[in-house]
A and B are shown apart, each in its own frame.
Chain A
Amino acid sequence: MLRYVVRRLLLLVPILLGVSLLIFFWIRALPGSPAEALLGERATPQLVAQLRERYGLNKPVYQQYFSYLKTTLEGDFGVSVATHRKVADEIKQRFPATIELAIAAMLFAVVVGVPLGFFAAKKYGSFFDHATLVGSLLGISIPIFFLAILLKYFFSVKWQLLPSVGRESVTLNTPHPTNFYILDAIIARDWYALWDAIQHLILPAIALGSIPLAVITRITRASVLDVQNEDYVRTARAKGLAPRAVDRSHVLRNALLPISTIIGLQTGLLLSGAVLTETVFAWPGMGSWLRDAIFNRDYPVLQGGILFLAVVFVIVNLIVDLSYAIINPRIRYS
């Protein structure tokens, strides 16, 4: 097991090198440079030339790449050309926001999706089964930003039940040592702040979780349908085990294996795919930050931010792979 983990971690090196190359050349393939993007109407050719020289963009690309690689290896992601803040500091502040949102979205998707999929399989062909199919299709096909605006329209604007933007009420003054607001509120034993943070999470989590919810529901349904016709399930039933015990210990547990793969993949996607949700909910995470960076051709932010997300994505997948062994003890890593 340990050897497997070390091997997987060592694999990170070529993966990240590849990712760094891809990001570096991809963003330079985009037309324009930060100089033009930032100066807008005020971009005189002289100012653009001055900034290009300052940013080192007039050097050969391979030199730029090696200097980027060198500073990145030294742990320096540089400074954003748009906000003038250190990329590492921004990641430190924004990544917890994205993680918190992704976990909440996944929690919503799993807590609602697994039971829905399970019962849809159990009631195969029923109205409930068809309804979950329609619901899943809707979940996948409704654009996130549209769903987000709709949710905000009803829950924030019309009924004023939940806040429409941000991570916490602006009048709160809770300290944030970890930048995970739920955790911070628990550490501070500030239950009002905890409830406030949860309230702010509900709508973005539902919007962001809509696609994973649909996927998990469908996969759970298919997986349960598959497993419940297996010999061992029939044997368990024939042995006279209570139906609920069969479902819990034999059907659901075995059906969870493909679901956990999907959860892992979807969590990775949520981390990078929160762009629209974060923008619509003014959620100060990585997604909205990277979106602005693309518009601003903010090379340091794109290089640092995407590389960081790539590391996280690989680690999440490693954790998912390792979780197989916990879910299914027959799986051994070597």
Chain B
Amino acid sequence: MRGIKRLALPLVAIIVLVAAGTAGGASRAKTLVFAGASDPTYLDPALVSDGESFRVTNQIFESLVGLRPGSTVVQPRLATSWTSKNAKDWTFNLRKGVKFQDGTPFNSAAVCYNYNRQYNFTGAFQDASATYYWQTVFGGFHHNASPDLSPSLYIGCTAHGPYKVTIHLRTPSGPFLSAQVISSFAIQSPTAMKKYGANSGELRNGVFYPTGSYAFSHPTGTGPFKFVSWTVGQRVVLAKNTSYWGKKARIDQLIIRPISDNTARLQALQSGDVQGYDLVAPEHISTIRANSKLKVENRPSFNVAYVTIHQGPGSPMNDLKVRQAVAYGLDRASVVKSFYAGRGIVANEFQPPQLFGYSKSVTKYPFNPTKAKALLNSSSCHVPCKVDFWYPTNVSRPYMPDPKRNFEAFAASLAQAGFNVVAHSAPWRPDYVKHVNEGTAGDLNLIGWTGDFGDPDNFLGTFFQTYSPQFGFHNNAIFKILAQAEAEKSLAKRIALYKKANNMIMKYLPAVPYAHSQPALGFDKNVKGYIPSPVGTDPFDPVFISGGV
């Protein structure tokens, strides 16, 4: 027994010491600690395409244009105004008196340097993993290394004095301007990039790897925060840029921590280790709401979940009546009501409602099993019409928090509508996505998309502008109108074209959209001024902490 007593003493001592120590929620005046799901890849925005990297680079860097907070409306940022007569040559008037965080001036030479830098990328930098967004928006480069790359949309930049530039495109592009808000097109300090080897990189075992130190420890932009340090696996520390041209940040220090586990992020918020976090799991929303010290912020919906209808040789889905029966047979309202924790709306088309080009007059398909059965019986696939329906396992996507339960509800409603549903499942990574993209995931499958930038082209154009094995259809009218909308210079005409395209798509039914969901962020109640962006470009400069966090 004496032994136990001897053991108890150090244990008590530890507990006392622990109690005496200041854990987690220590007072950190004017410092905001925010948790994301992982580390950034690099801090050179031209070379990254993931949200966690952009979360940091969006604070350090700015593009020519930005977004009105909380929306997808383009507004001036480093450019004060812009014009384009033909959607090919875009002239920007630049903001005067702006300096990079290394003290060098921001001007038209810096803008042209940044665009030309990416345009002239060679070798390893032309890898899709290095320059995903350049390739998405501009296609190829000045000298394409691979025949698979298309000719570059960007063809040059002309400086007209220090504060005016024209960016020249090969062909007219409507989405060009909206795409420039992506952090990949932010303007970085040419001096810092040259000094710290931003343009050196290599392919090792086929993977792009920047060999200079710029992307790891010297990112230099014009934004409201400047880089201080990055401890991989632990934190990125940013400090207020006191020389910022605009309204200065209200916090002195921003620390972004990578916490990959959903529950760990929640507990870090509850314990005060962080004051905010992104990607709240739907099942944690009620826990945060129930805590009087915490709150939930909603990210405006910018995604779409849909049921792919795969057409192809011999497929029953080639028959429009069968596709219509599928649309009437999916009880989308019940799925959204039951499995989106009050954070979803039924999707009637393939783009979010707040994006221009949304049409209020698309054909709608409310759940109607009787109509679905009638359509099937007048089609080439009579009741019970056999369909292979795939869903993913081991995954929760922002637009589809619980795929299995979505599938089960849809399978039940389709059965009611006269379909004989054969279930197939596969792990999300990598089998499921591979099958969906290659068009081998049955007649129907669950999938979705989160937008990258505020243009309908990023939704409709991505899905339906050309033939894709995923959907397996050829519809030249749809392909043509989307190409036309992409190339159109007038916004009013683009809006009209996308509305028309949405109407055509929902008549043709290459897939059935079913939900737009609102992702959630969790915060300490004292954190104020955070405005979630639909495309994840959340600014931290208006954020402040009231009281003592």
* Chain A residues within 8 Å of B, Cβ to Cβ: 31-33, 35-41, 43-48, 50-51, 54-56, 71, 76, 78-81, 83-86, 90, 93-94, 97, 112, 115, 118-119, 128, 149, 152-153, 155-157, 160-171, 176, 195, 199, 202, 279-282, 284, 288-289, 292, 295-297, 300
B448 beta carbon closer than 8 Å to chain A: yes
Residues B263 and A149 in contact, CB atoms below 8 Å apart = yes
Cα distance A36–B427 in the bound complex, in angstroms: 12
Residues of A within 8 A of B127 (CB): 54
A-B contact list, 24 entries, CB within 8 Å: A41-B447, A41-B449, A41-B450, A45-B438, A46-B148, A56-B205, A79-B207, A84-B209, A93-B232, A119-B3, A128-B4, A149-B267, A156-B23, A157-B267, A163-B24, A164-B271, A164-B273, A165-B267, A165-B274, A282-B257, A284-B233, A288-B260, A295-B429, A296-B429
Quick one: which of B494-546 are within 8 Å of A by CB? none
Closest Cβ neighbor of B462 among chain A residues: A42
Residues from 118 to 176 in B contacting A, C-beta threshold 8 Å: 127-129, 146, 148
A153 to B270, CA, bound (A): 9
Q: Please state if A33 and B203 are interface contacts (CB–CB under 8 Å).
A: no
Residues from chain A with a CB closer than 8 A to the CB of B274 are: 165
CB-defined contacts of A168 to chain B, threshold 8 Å: 234
Which parts of B402-438 form the interface with A (CB within 8 Å)?
427, 429-431, 433-434, 437-438
The 8 tightest CB contacts between A and B, nearest first, are A284-B233, A32-B430, A36-B430, A156-B271, A78-B205, A55-B206, A54-B206, A37-B430
What chain B residues lie within 8 Å of A128 (beta carbons)? 4
In the complex, A40 Cα to B210 Cα: how many Å?
A: 23
Assess whether A171 is in contact with B26, with CB atoms less than 8 Å apart: yes
CB of B12 within 8 Å of the partner chain: no
Q: Are the C-beta atoms of A161 and B267 separated by less than 8 Å?
A: no
Which of the four size classes fits the interface of chain B? Answer: 35 or more
Name the distance in Å between A277's Cβ and chain B's nearest Cβ: 11
Cα–Cα distance between A170 and B263 once the two chains are bound (Å): 19
**In the bound complex, what is the Cα–Cα distance between A95 and B278 (angstroms)?**
28
Cβ–Cβ contact A300 & B271, under 8 A = no
Say yes or no: B18 contacts A199, CB within 8 Å. Answer: yes
In the complex, which of the residues A83, A168, A295, A296 has the most CB atoms of chain B within 10 Å of its own CB atom? Answer: A83
> Do B234 and A119 touch (CB < 8 A)?
no
Contact B263 A55 (CB under 8 A): no
Q: Known contacts A78-B205, A115-B7; is A45 also within 8 Å of B437 by CB? A: yes
Chain B residues with CB under 8 Å of A33's CB are: 430
Q: How far is the CB of B92 from chain A (nearest CB, A)?
A: 29
Q: Mark B202-239, 1 if CB is under 8 A from A, else 0.
A: 01111111100000000000000000000111110100
- Are B128 and A170 in contact, with the CB atoms below 8 A? no
B438 to chain A, nearest CB (A): 6
Q: Report B-chain residues with C-beta under 8 Å of the C-beta of A119.
A: 3-4
Min Cβ gap B63→A in Å is: 21
Inter-subunit contact A170/B255 (CB<8 Å): yes
A71 to B468, CA, bound (A): 39
Picked from B255, B264, B468, the residue with its CB within 8 Å of the CB of A282 is B264
**Cβ of A39 to closest chain B Cβ, rounded Å:** 8
